[in-house]
Amino acid sequence: MSDPASARSDTFGPDLAEVFGPSQSDGGPDLVQLLTPEGERVHHPEFDHDFSAEELRGLYRDMVLTRRIDVEATALQRHGELGIWAQLLGQEAAQIGAGRALRPQDYVFPTYREHGVAYCKGVDPLRLLGLFRGVDQGGWDPNENNFGLYTIVIGAQTLHATGYAMGMQRDGVVGTGDPERDAAVIAHFGDGASSQGDVNEAFIFAASYNAPVVFFCQNNQWAISEPIERQTRIPLYQRALGFGFPGIRVDGNDVLATYAVTKAALQRAREGNGPSFVEAYTYRMGAHTTTDDPTRYRLNDELEHWKLKDPIERLKVYLRRNGLVDQEFFDDLDAEAKEMGHHLREGCKALPDPKPLDQFGYVFSEMTDEIAAQRDEFAAYLASFEGSHS
Amino acid sequence: MTHQKITLAKGLNMGLRKAMEADDKVLLMGEDVGKLGGVFRITDGLQKDFGEDRVIDSPLAESGIVGTAVGMALRGYRPVIEIQFDGFVYPAYDQIVCQVAKYTYRSQGKVKMPIVIRIPFGGGIGAVEHHSESPEAQFAHTPGLKVVACSNPVDGYWMIQQAIAHDDPVIFLEPKRQYHADKAELDESATPEPLFTSRVVRAGTDATVLAYGPTVKTALKAAEAAETEGRNLEVIDLRTLSPLDMAPVLESVRRTGRCVVTHEAHVNLGMGAELAARITEECFYSLEAPVLRVGAFDMPYPPSRIEEEYLPDLDRVLDAVDRTFAF
Ligand SMILES: Cc1ncc(C[n+]2csc(CCOP(=O)(O)OP(=O)(O)O)c2C)c(N)n1
């Protein structure tokens, strides 16, 4: 029997083992890194940034609080307060690095897992719970914080992001030379999403119109049970070139590197130099969602391997080793995380259930006669039960 | 073991296995159908036994899944596709309605499209948006597609095999709320009912309730409740939505003179509208009351905390029954 993978490798480039074999589990030679898993600061010729102690502490704090949001929400799901939760454990650096690189005027198009980016954009973490609790399907005003609604249909938001960026071009807020004014869009998605037609069409539009959009893919190695090999034969970041814009792979567990790389990509977009693709090479340490059971498809060794690359631990080591933090810092942060946890627990239970009759009002911008009639009929039907059950 | 008690999930799993054993051209394709056995575990164990060439974990691309199935079918295979959740069929909508549905017609019958598209559909599982939709009318409205909905474990077992053996494309709707809900006795040696037929699942004399998929159970419960009020409802499980098997329906309505149709999908332009129109055309002089529909309001599926208010339940079916008697 011929093996299609090896038959192809002779003439058409690398075979799967070469691209995805053990030698590549560290992200390969092109991985941009500023902080090693051991907490060593390294430098990169193109993407570097002079982080102040304050900035470093801030990034650490953000990651810790983001993890807390995730842990609390997971616990709330276990207690039956949420129907489901999409965990981000392990992806804190990718999200905080990207989130902190944004300016207020930049606009985010998230998937359903961008809890850390939402937090950076100033969305109250409590608002993220509504969709998962089943009390709403969004819960925040996307234009208030320039943070779009969570998108469940895989990849759909990348086209919205591109269109929004095209709108920015037309509004003259790209490449004006005024850093307070110039704006860009970031679209988040997963490695699995890269297979969707929508995502590929977004790449074409963005390239064709030179739209100010950064495609930010968190390659967490898995799309539910399907490994990255099921979505691509080449490292994802290399795809961008085929669409006509630069792609770069950054260590997604290194918050300094994701920050620096995303910042550069956003800047490029704001200045009018078009789209780019950032592949944050990371790992989903938890399950896909709280209903998923990764033991059915994933080896524990792999998880153990990635635990050693924990994004929070490595920055902690660096901060400690360089005397940038003291015990008081950790105590304060601990208190702040507890406070956040309390806010989420109490707030979640207090989220009001939607009112059945109100829902009719949101179908269109104005009520139609037909829907009003259905609402009234339903109201009369509900009223017919009143008193009958007491 | 020819007699056993099984769930709908088990019935479908066994049916898929049978179909794969019977014909080595049968392939399963979809997201997570392999190692994981599908997010609902309907394909559990099949990749292990039939290999990765026959149980294919696809890239995360619905248009791609359906589009490649078209090619496979042209090559003589019989692809059975799993769409993970109802709301994710839309990225493949173009391939389904423009390609799958039309190939046989365009080739003047020279090409067959024996593709089965399995869709877990309907609500009531407390999910987030796009996981509870009832898209059946969109497909039933498309010439060239056949649309069926199973409602119980035994039908699941037989219908999936029949759909796979059928030479036309079949949209195969599975009420996900029922996957693990009830068990039923399966006799594997029995002769199954033909695929595109409706069935009276409860005989009655006073009014006919039409249902399919998840609402069959609701309709049966309503019939039980009505019994205590002295009303004897006949319940028909439609099973096939396109083509519709009208004979049992018309026969029943002519006898009872009253009809209520219930489904989870929107009432406006839904299956109920079609049924009401046909019944009115065919049994106008037997009707004591207009055909009434119980389904969803014309709004998107609501947040799950209020889905119980939105879904047709026993009370809403009974309320409609009351109204037919008020005429
Ligand atoms: C169009 C569509 N198909 C299928 C699904 C079901 N689904 C939800 S998440 C997911 C995997 C996504 O993987 P990836 O894009 O890598 O993102 P991750 O969740 O790993 O961050 C799938 C198949 C969906 N939401 N939308």
Phi-psi region of B231 (alpha: psi -120 to 50; beta: other; left: phi over 0): beta
Instruction: Mutation target for B interface from A85, A127, A196: give the one with most B CBs within 10 A.
Output: A196
DSSP state string for A179-195:
TTT---EEEEEETGGGG
**Quick one: tokens of A301?**
């060794």
Angle (CA) A116-A122-A127 rounded to 5° is 75
Q: What does the pLDDT read at residue B99?
A: 97
| Strand pairing report for B55-57 and A247-251 | unpaired
Query: Chain A: residue nearest B308 by CA?
Result: A356
Residues of A within 8 A of B310 (CB-CB) are 356, 359
Residues of A within 8 A of B63 (CB-CB) are 197
pLDDT greater than 70 at residue A9: no
Instruction: Mutation target for A interface from B43, B65, B89, B128: give the one with most A CBs within 10 A.
Output: B128
Residues of B within 8 A of A296 (CB-CB) are 35-37
SS3 at position A279: strand
Q: What does the pLDDT read at residue A130?
A: 97
Q: What does the pLDDT read at residue A23?
A: 39
Average pLDDT of span A7-33: 63
Task: Flag whether the ipTM exceeds 0.90.
Answer: yes
Residues of B within 8 A of A382 (CB-CB) are 309
CA of A383 to the centre of ligand 1 (A): 41
Query: Chain B: residue nearest A361 by CA?
Result: B299
Q: Do A226 and B57 touch (CB under 8 A)?
A: yes
Q: Do B297 and A371 touch (CB under 8 A)?
A: yes
How confident is residue A15, by pLDDT bands cut at 50, 70 and 90?
Answer: low
Count of CB pairs separated by less than 8 Å, A with B: 116
How confident is residue A7, by pLDDT bands cut at 50, 70 and 90?
Answer: very low
Residue-wise pLDDT for A75-86, tens only, equals 999 999 999 999
Residue B64 contacts residue A195 (beta carbons within 8 Å): yes
Among A361, A370, A378, smallest CA distance to B315 is for A378
pLDDT greater than 90 at residue A153: yes
Q: Using a 6 Å cutoff on CB, does residue B84 contact ligand 1?
A: yes
Residue A88 contacts residue A120 (beta carbons within 8 Å): no
Please tell me whether the peptide bond between A227 and the residue prior to it is cis, using omega within 30 degrees of 0.
Answer: no
Backbone torsions φ then ψ of B215, nearest 5 degrees: -85, -5
Residues 6+ apart with CB under 8 A from A363: A371, B298, B299, B300
Q: What does the pLDDT read at residue A19?
A: 56
The whole-angstrom distance between B321's CA and the closest CA on chain A is 14
Q: Provide block-wise average pLDDT over 10 residues at a time, chain B (327 residues).
A: 90 98 98 97 98 98 97 97 98 98 96 98 96 98 98 98 98 98 96 98 98 98 96 98 98 98 97 98 98 97 95 96 96
Angle (CA) B239-B245-B246 rounded to 5° is 125
Instruction: Cite the beta strand spans of chain A per DSSP E.
Output: 107-109, 185-190, 213-219, 222-223, 226-227, 247-251, 276-281
Compare CB distances from B60 to A193, A360, A378 and report the shortest one's residue. Answer: A193
How confident is residue A10, by pLDDT bands cut at 50, 70 and 90?
Answer: very low
Query: Chain A: residue nearest B32 by CA?
Result: A225
Pocket test for ligand 1, best of A201, A224, A225, A279 (most atoms within 8 A of CB): A224
**Quick one: tokens of A83?**
């129907």
Helices (H), B284-327: 307-310, 314-326
Q: What does the pLDDT read at residue A18?
A: 57
Q: Using a 6 Å cutoff on CB, does residue A220 contact ligand 1?
A: yes
Q: What does the pLDDT read at residue B3?
A: 86
**Closest C-alpha residue for ligand 1 atom 18:** A190
Compare CB distances from A354 to B88, B90, B302 and report the shortest one's residue. Answer: B302
CA of A137 to the centre of ligand 1 (A): 17
Q: Using a 6 Å cutoff on CB, does residue A191 contact ligand 1?
A: yes
CA of B86 to the centre of ligand 1 (A): 14
pLDDT greater than 90 at residue A5: no
B130 counts as catalytic: no
This prediction has a pTM of 0.94
A78 counts as catalytic: no
Average pLDDT of span A9-13: 49
Q: Using a 6 Å cutoff on CB, does residue A193 contact ligand 1?
A: yes
pLDDT greater than 70 at residue A388: no
Q: What percent of chain A has pLDDT over 90?
A: 91
* Marked catalytic residue, from A68, A284, A314, A375: A284
Q: What percent of chain A has pLDDT over 70?
A: 93
pLDDT greater than 70 at residue A22: no
Residues of B within 8 A of A193 (CB-CB) are 60
Tally of CA atoms within 13 A in the half-sphere of B59 that contains its CB? 18
How confident is residue A14, by pLDDT bands cut at 50, 70 and 90?
Answer: low
CA of A193 to the centre of ligand 1 (A): 7
Q: Do B36 and A375 touch (CB under 8 A)?
A: no
The whole-angstrom distance between A322's CA and the closest CA on chain B is 44
Relative to the CA of A155, which ligand 1 atom is closest? 1
**Closest C-alpha residue for ligand 1 atom 12:** A223
Compare CB distances from B126 to A130, A134, A374 and report the shortest one's residue. Answer: A134
Residue-wise pLDDT for A156-171, tens only, equals 999 999 999 999 999 9
Average pLDDT of span A352-376: 95
The interaxial angle of helices B153-165 and B8-22, nearest 10 deg, is 30
Residues of A within 8 A of B87 (CB-CB) are 152-153
Residue B66 contacts residue B95 (beta carbons within 8 Å): yes
* Marked catalytic residue, from B3, B131, B263, B266: B131
Q: Using a 6 Å cutoff on CB, does residue B91 contact ligand 1?
A: yes
Any idea which of A2-16, A120-134, A206-220 has the lowest mean pLDDT? A2-16
Residue that is written with structure tokens 């002295």 in the block: B230
pLDDT greater than 60 at residue A11: no
Q: What does the pLDDT read at residue A50?
A: 96
Compare CB distances from B305 to A231, A353, A370 and report the shortest one's residue. Answer: A353
Compare CB distances from B299 to A134, A355, A363 and report the shortest one's residue. Answer: A363
